[in-house]
Amino acid sequence: MSHTEEKQSKLELAQNILEYQFENENLLLSAITHPSATEGRSVKYSYERLEFLGDSILGAIVASTAFHSFHELDEGGLTRIKVALVSGASLADVAEHLGLADVIVFGSSETGTGKRGLHSALENVYEALVAALYLDGGLEAARDFVSRTLIPRMSIDMASEPENPKSALQEKLQEGGITPTYKLVETQGPPHDRTFVAQVYAGTQGLARGTGRTKKEAESQAARSTLARLSEFFGKGIGDKNTEKAAVKAAEKAAAKAAKEEQKARKKRERDASKAKIEQ
């Protein structure tokens, strides 16, 4: 199948960047083609389906590398490394430095969307290229590309919990143009021994709750809990519509679970207080 001069030029440039020659160039063409350039045609002609496959393959490669590189880390630390490395911001940055912006085939309707549209496309194309390499050359081809371009960014520092969870959460949510807010939802205990319960919101959607001796501590705990429970979705990019729906569902479950946990904790405190009075 013959391609236009522009597409052929982009195919050659892409293969130079990937350091890999495709047997099936149509796979590569799909991986670098934005959906706006395939309007009215089958979804297989853009990167949408490949992106889905690439996301899973990329996650497996990164998870395996982290697992075998950091033997002392627990599941939480390994998860934080994976999430940081495959986040939308990370993949877009890698793709930009590789020069992938020059190989993407856009349709006329996408012209003028600016930096935000390009940021999303770069992330998606990177994942689609991982899938295309896997389909054309097997797991080794995909692993070689990821190992050369993304794995060098992996660091044990990524396993650390954020020092400021509220700032970390704000950074994550603002990728999708959402600013988190906090609300004091409950105050427990006598005046001299207060416990505060705060809930974090993404827009109007309530996320996780947190408790603390001060309002600030409660908000930090709420942010930390939200980051932990929604990290798998943030890895994909909170600005993605499908991701937002999944995040909302997860947030609802997280909020419900947090409420139940707090209710159990409150009942335990009440029982302990009653027991203490009896013993006195």
> DSSP H helical segments within 70-154, as ranges?
75-85, 88-98, 114-137, 139-149
Cα–Cα distance, 104 to 240 (Å, whole number): 19
- Active-site annotation, residues: 55, 127
Cα–Cα distance, 64 to 142 (Å, whole number): 13
Handedness of CA 114, 120, 122, 125 (dihedral sign): negative
Residue 121 contacts by C-beta under 8 Å, 6 or more apart in sequence? 34, 104, 106
Cα–Cα distance, 107 to 85 (Å, whole number): 29
Judging by beta carbons within 10 Å of its beta carbon (0-12, 13-18, 19+), is residue 163 exposed, middle or buried? exposed
Which tokens go with 73? 């880390």
3-class secondary-structure state, position 190: coil
Cα–Cα distance, 268 to 147 (Å, whole number): 50
Residues 13, 19: contact at Cβ < 8 Å?
Answer: no
